[in-house]
Chains A and B, each alone.
Chain A
Amino acid sequence: MSIMEYNGGSVIAMVGKDCVAIASDLRLGNQALGISSNFQKIFQMTDRIFLGLPGLATDVTTLKETFRYRVNMYTIKEERELEPETFAHMVSSALYERRFGPYFIEPVMCGLQKTHTGEYKPFIAATDLIGCLNFAKDFVVAGTASTKLYGVAEGLWEPDLEPEDLFETCAQTLLNAVDRDAYSGWGAEVYVLTKDKVIRRTLKGRMD
């Protein structure tokens, strides 16, 4: 029995043209047994940072709170908003602190990074369970359906997708990947971040 597959679940994040998307399934399982079809794995960290936490459910709850605390402390002490890239390093170091007794989570994050010209640049990143960072330019995936997500995303994704197209690409990738994974599925949600709004959509997926 692998702890990473104990509860199941998958997350994906993608870059578009001046926008990013992050999506996850909604299943919580106890190995093959489905427990809940409304288990959130994506959390809003700041106005423009979202974090997905696929992996062991108990650690999802712990890390969500840990990062809420750390982001708040950062904001208070620094008196400025946390940037996505900084947050990625925060995630990485938090996980590496537990190098030899890790949280069983492979975080995926996305956000809009403020550039020196005051514009917003799409940002995505993922780490493994001990905080090894991966700053991809296209998409990042994690969870029990990761191999499937890689395959579909590699086939569907293209550069410079507009928000609505990015939503469709992200949703289709996730849905088709989790349908081939016994441990993921049972509904899904997608967030699309643009410079002036965040769109959240719940997807109807196969419930088997």
Chain B
Amino acid sequence: MPDGSFAHPQQRQFNPYTDNGGTILAIAGADFTVIAGDTRQSEGYSIQTRYAPKVFRLTDRAVLAVNGFAADGNMFVKKVKQRLEWYRHAHAKDMPLRAIARLIQTMLYAQRFFPYYVYNILGGIEEDGSGAVYSFDPVGSYEREACRAAGAAQSLVQPFLDNQIYFKNQKAAPGTSHPTHLPLSDVLSIVIDSFTSATERHIEVGDGLEIYVVVARGRSPQGIEGIRGVQELSAQPNGDRTFILRRELKKD
């Protein structure tokens, strides 16, 4: 110590975690789900890269967004994908969404005493054809919701979603009621607005935006194919369909 005492010997302890910033978000529609994340990866005040995906396609009807400590996130996605492949080999079909959600809980809780420092949001289509979002904490607590934001700008985005998706603090016009699910075009606008707002006010959010849209089998993709720069990822157009939509965000 500067005063010459050694009451507290100096020690550098290795810290196995870091925070790589970024934000993710998912919204469920009646027969579709939108899962999005920005593509910036940072450590402290340094931007490591402007393109590091945080959203991953797991199956034809499941997409996982991962946010927090990037190394844990990538490893976790890798292991989930491996488990899903094993399931495919054992059962000759893709694991259903609610089962993936439970799998993720068990995998996270298995690491209860050395957790994956990661917030997960799982989105996709349920077996009944409804859009679904599952959100998790780092040790596996989870619930099904209609919408969820996580990561660096969670506190900026979530109250905005409460207002625009759940119509919180809003009263429907006399004789009408709020819709339980929004059309795809409205959801996409809200997602893009959320990320532009978060980019404006949070230094760890920006660079690029990746939006995955999963549409239930036999349901209308509501004109998404006409949107600028949309790319379809699904193999056969008669099953569940997955689209990806990329947008630039401010880079400062």
**Chain A positions near chain B (C-beta within 8 angstroms):** 147-148, 150-152, 154-156, 172, 175-177, 179-180, 205
Q: Which residue of A lies closest to B168 (CB)?
A: A176
Main SS at interface, chain A: helix
| B positions within 8 Å CB-CB of A | 153, 155-160, 162-164, 168-170, 193-194, 197-198, 200-201
20 more A-B residue pairs beyond the given contacts A154-B197, A179-B169, with a C-beta to C-beta distance below 8 A: A147-B155, A148-B158, A150-B156, A150-B201, A151-B155, A151-B158, A151-B197, A152-B159, A152-B160, A154-B200, A155-B197, A172-B170, A175-B168, A176-B159, A176-B162, A176-B163, A176-B169, A179-B162, A179-B168, A180-B158
CA of A70 to CA of B161, assembled, Å: 42
Q: Hey, which chain B residues are within 8 Å of A179, CB to CB?
A: 159, 162, 168-169
A-B contact pairs, 5 of them (CB 8 A): A148-B155, A151-B158, A155-B197, A176-B159, A179-B162
Measured in the bound complex, the distance between the Cα atoms of B201 and A155 in whole Å is 11
Could you say which residues of chain B place their CB within 8 Å of the CB of A151? 153, 155-160, 197-198, 201
Complex Cα gap A180–B154 (Å): 11
CB pair B163–A172 under 8 Å, yes or no, is yes
Chain B's nearest CB lies how many Å from the CB of A151?
Answer: 3
Residues of B contacting A205 with CB < 8 Å? 169
A177→B201 contact, CB < 8 A: no
Contact of A172 with B159 in the complex, beta carbons under 8 Å: no
Docked-complex contact A175 and B169, CB < 8 angstroms:
yes
Interface of B is mostly: helix
- Which of B156, B164, B169, B194 is the one whose CB lies under 8 Å from A148? B156
Nearest CB of B to A135, in Å: 17
A177 to B198, CA, bound (A): 14
Contact B163 A147, beta carbon cutoff 8 Å: no
- For B201, list chain A residues within 8 Å (CB): 150-151, 154
Residues of B within 8 A of A175 (CB): 168-169
State the CA gap A175–B158 with chains docked (Å). 13
Taking a contact as CB atoms under 8 Å apart, the answer to whether B168 and A154 are in contact is: no
CB A87 to nearest CB in B, in angstroms, measures 27
A130 CA to B247 CA, complexed, in Å: 40
Q: In the assembled complex, how far is the CB of residue B159 from the closest CB belonging to chain A, in whole angstroms? A: 4
CB neighbours of B198 from chain A (8 A) = 151, 154
Q: Are B156 and A176 in contact (CB under 8 A)?
A: no
The smallest beta-carbon distance between A100 and chain B, in angstroms, is 22
Cross-chain contact B170 with A177 (CB below 8 angstroms)? no
Q: Which residues of B contact A176 (CB under 8 A)?
A: 159-160, 162-163, 168-169
Q: Give the chain A neighbours of B164 by CB distance below 8 A.
A: 155
- Which of A152, A175, A179 has the most chain B CB within a 10 Å cutoff? A152
Nearest Cβ on chain A to B92's Cβ, whole angstroms: 44
Give Cα A147–Cα B194 distance, bound, in whole angstroms. Answer: 14
Q: Is A152 within 8 A of B155, CB to CB?
A: no
**How many whole Å from B191's CB to the nearest CB in chain A?**
11
Give the residues in chain B near A150, CB-CB below 8 Å.
Answer: 156, 201
Q: How far is the CA of A46 from the CA of B86 in the complex (A)?
A: 72
- B162 surroundings in chain A (CB, below 8 A): 176, 179-180
